[in-house]
């Protein structure tokens, strides 16, 4: 059965929901999300949204801060576009009712904080759970809108191109989507399709991302013939709690700011050997130092020690961290916290323009899946939600300006030649192998030999998964694994092409900078027929 909509949005983070609300008064919108609307990386964003909101700040200062973080690869036009539209994006959220933290002394009436890399206070926030506040506000309005149909517990399988109906002049016509609960594949036709599927943190063994961050949109776009850029730039957070029952729990950088000391298992402090600023060095330097010590000594983790502070002080300053660690049997007032760096943000992605358009007519991309040129080689803190909002508005304007057109009848998903899988264990084993070797070979610090080993392993996995995909009915786990392996391949290919160390890409074989910064752009040899 085919379902027709004006716009199909795959993903339910800030990018997808804000776009849906901008469109729904005029068009029929479908939102496809793998779990519930609330399950996205946006909900986990603790910090805030960067925008020039204070008279002591300036657009030029925000632009310059973004350039510095991006290590020479930020696109000037895209960066200025996002920064100039920042205030309007925040005002739109305020109009929608997002409960940002207020401050009477502020000219705007809201408290602005400052984060690493920013030269001014420009981060508007809702306490320490900004993403959750934005998501909750937008979700409530999306759920109540008569023109929005929500498909929870659904996952996109592949985009449907014009070639599927023998018309190569037509671009993207929608997508095949799996209903995870009953195993049926739904055909959703749309005049415009938007990928808002988030990043690919789950390609790594340790990540701060939710389980849904499996690179789905990036892989789907690549298979459909879109360019992918700068996938080598994966941002790692230095201190994620290392515990089997605490997936993705961050230990705030403020713990180091308040005197926390990084130690080896024997208690030896190691950060002064890596940087004169020791634990107060920037995030990427601390992450690389921890990675170095773990690889050199074969460690599973290192330890962050704040036990010289009293229990009362820790409860006052870090109530959530203190409580969560106690739940897991770790009293941080008496013992150090086991930590590892973790994949945090995908700076590269699907190449888009200022209207969020991809290389394929009718296909848009917004949010972490996209490579807009804003982040360059390293994302500036709190620019991510800003990018979601600004390009969500840009995509909405472009979609609304398109003339209405008819939707063709699309062929149903064909599973006549497949059977139910007989060994699901193959999927779980391949998933575990992929995440482990990506962490070991394509992590924070890379070498040519490690990348070559990863590429070889990925090719073997590709063959196994393609065979499995060709013979058995699709499942959520199979779709995610297929996309993760594809995304891992794109990361490795981009990393192998970059013969320097720039931003988030650190290579022992190429430690210097090339004189001219260049993007790493991958182009498919041909478009596959889906």
CA distance 262 to 88: 41
Is residue 22 among the annotated active site residues? no
CA distance 388 to 43: 13
**Residue 143 · residue 84 · CB < 8 Å:** no
| CB environment 363-384: b (16+ within 10 A), e (fewer) | bbbbbbbbbbbbbbbbbbbbbb
Q: What is the pLDDT of residue 422?
A: 65
Coarse DSSP helix, strand, coil percentages of the chain, rounded to the nearest 5 percent: 40, 20, 45
Ranges for all domains in the chain classified under CATH 3.50.50.60: 2-42+130-231+347-380
Q: What is the pLDDT of residue 273?
A: 96
Q: What is the pLDDT of residue 64?
A: 95
DSSP code, position 52: -
CATH number of 2-42+130-231+347-380: 3.50.50.60
- Is residue 57 classed exposed, middle or buried when 0-12, 13-18 and 19+ CB atoms within 10 A define those classes? middle
Which two structure tokens, joined as six digits, stand for 361?
A: 């007519």
DSSP code, position 163: G
Q: What is the pLDDT of residue 251?
A: 85
Q: What is the pLDDT of residue 423?
A: 65
Q: What is the pLDDT of residue 244?
A: 87
Beta bridge partners of 150: 31
Ranges for all domains in the chain classified under CATH 3.90.700.10: 238-342
Which member of 22, 122, 256, 283 is catalytic? 283
Q: What is the pLDDT of residue 168?
A: 80
Q: 292-343: per-residue pLDDT in tens?
A: 999 899 999 999 999 999 999 898 777 888 999 999 999 999 999 999 999 9
Q: What is the pLDDT of residue 42?
A: 62
Beta bridge partners of 344: none
Nearest to 503 by CA among 233, 321, 207: 233
CA distance 493 to 490: 5
Architecture of domain 238-342: Alpha-Beta Complex (3.90)
Q: What is the pLDDT of residue 420?
A: 75
Q: What is the pLDDT of residue 284?
A: 77
CA distance 378 to 68: 9
CA distance 69 to 72: 8
Q: What is the pLDDT of residue 529?
A: 41
Each of the 530 residues of the chain gets a pLDDT tens digit; together they read: 799 999 999 999 999 999 999 999 999 999 999 988 777 666 665 568 999 999 899 999 999 999 988 999 999 999 999 999 999 999 999 999 999 888 877 767 888 877 767 888 888 988 767 878 899 999 999 998 999 999 999 999 999 999 988 888 789 999 999 999 999 999 999 999 999 999 999 999 989 888 899 999 999 999 999 999 999 999 998 899 999 888 778 887 768 877 899 999 999 999 999 988 888 777 778 888 998 999 899 999 999 999 999 999 898 777 888 999 999 999 999 999 999 999 999 999 999 999 999 999 999 999 999 999 999 999 988 899 999 999 999 999 999 999 888 889 999 998 877 777 666 777 888 989 999 999 999 999 999 999 999 999 999 999 989 888 888 889 999 999 999 999 999 999 999 999 999 999 999 999 999 999 999 999 987 644 43
**Residue 360 · residue 172 · CB < 8 Å:** yes
Listed in sequence order, the residues at least 6 apart from 158 whose beta carbon sits closer than 8 Å to its beta carbon are 175, 176, 220, 223, 224, 530
CA distance 276 to 477: 45
**Residue 135 · residue 98 · CB < 8 Å:** no
CA distance 462 to 472: 15
Q: What is the pLDDT of residue 510?
A: 97
């Amino acid at each position: 059965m085919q379902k027709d909509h004006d716009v199909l949005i795959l993903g339910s983070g800030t990018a997808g929901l804000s776009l849906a609300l901008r469109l729904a008064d005029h068009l029929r919108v479908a939102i496809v999300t793998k779990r519930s609307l609330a399950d996205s990386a946006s909900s986990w964003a603790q910090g805030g949204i960067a925008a020039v909101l204070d008279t002591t700040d300036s657009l030029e200062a925000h632009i310059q801060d973004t350039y510095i973080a991006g290590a020479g690869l930020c696109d000037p036009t895209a960066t200025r576009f996002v920064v100039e539209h920042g205030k309007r994006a925040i005002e739109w959220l305020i109009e929608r009712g997002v409960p940002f933290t207020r401050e009477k002394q502020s000219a705007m009436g809201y408290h602005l904080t400052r984060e690493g890399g920013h030269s001014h206070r420009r981060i508007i926030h809702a306490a320490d759970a900004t993403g959750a506040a934005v998501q909750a506000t937008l979700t409530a309005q999306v759920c109540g809108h008569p023109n929005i149909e929500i498909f929870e517990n659904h996952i996109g399988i592949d985009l449907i191109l014009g070639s599927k109906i023998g018309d190569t002049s037509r671009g993207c016509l929608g997508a095949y989507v799996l209903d995870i609960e009953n195993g049926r594949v739904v055909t959703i036709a749309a005049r415009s399709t938007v990928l808002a599927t988030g990043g690919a943190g789950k390609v790594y063994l340790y990540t701060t991302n939710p389980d849904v961050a499996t690179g789905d949109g990036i892989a789907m776009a690549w298979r459909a013939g879109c360019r992918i850029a700068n996938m080598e730039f994966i941002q790692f957070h230095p201190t994620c709690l290392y515990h089997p029952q605490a997936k993705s729990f961050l230990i705030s950088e403020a713990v180091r700011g308040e005197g926390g000391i990084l130690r080896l298992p024997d208690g030896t402090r190691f950060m002064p050997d890596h940087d004169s600023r020791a634990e107060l060095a920037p995030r990427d330097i601390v992450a690389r130092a921890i990675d170095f010590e773990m690889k050199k000594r074969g460690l599973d983790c290192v330890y962050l020690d704040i036990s010289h502070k009293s229990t009362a002080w820790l409860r006052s300053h870090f109530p959530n961290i203190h409580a969560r660690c106690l739940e897991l049997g770790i009293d941080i007032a008496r013992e150090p916290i086991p930590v590892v760096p973790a994949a945090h943000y995908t700076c590269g992605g699907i190449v888009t323009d200022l209207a969020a358009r991809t290389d394929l007519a009718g296909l848009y991309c917004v949010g972490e899946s996209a490579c807009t040129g804003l982040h360059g080689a390293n994302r500036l803190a709190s620019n991510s939600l800003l990018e979601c909002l600004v390009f969500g508005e840009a995509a909405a304007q472009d979609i609304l300006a398109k003339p209405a057109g008819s939707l063709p009848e699309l062929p149903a998903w064909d599973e006549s030649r497949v059977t139910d899988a007989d060994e699901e264990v193959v999927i779980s084993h391949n998933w575990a192998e992929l995440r482990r070797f990506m962490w070991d070979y394509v992590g924070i610090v890379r070498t040519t030999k490690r990348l070559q080993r990863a590429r070889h392993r990925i090719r073997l996995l590709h063959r196994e998964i393609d065979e499995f995909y060709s013979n058995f009915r699709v499942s959520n786990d199979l779709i995610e694994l297929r996309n993760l392996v594809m995304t891992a391949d794109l990361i490795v290919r981009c990393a192998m092409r970059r013969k320097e160390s720039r931003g988030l890409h650190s290579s022992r074989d190429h430690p210097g900078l090339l004189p001219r910064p260049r993007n790493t752009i991958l182009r498919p040899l041909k478009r596959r027929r889906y």
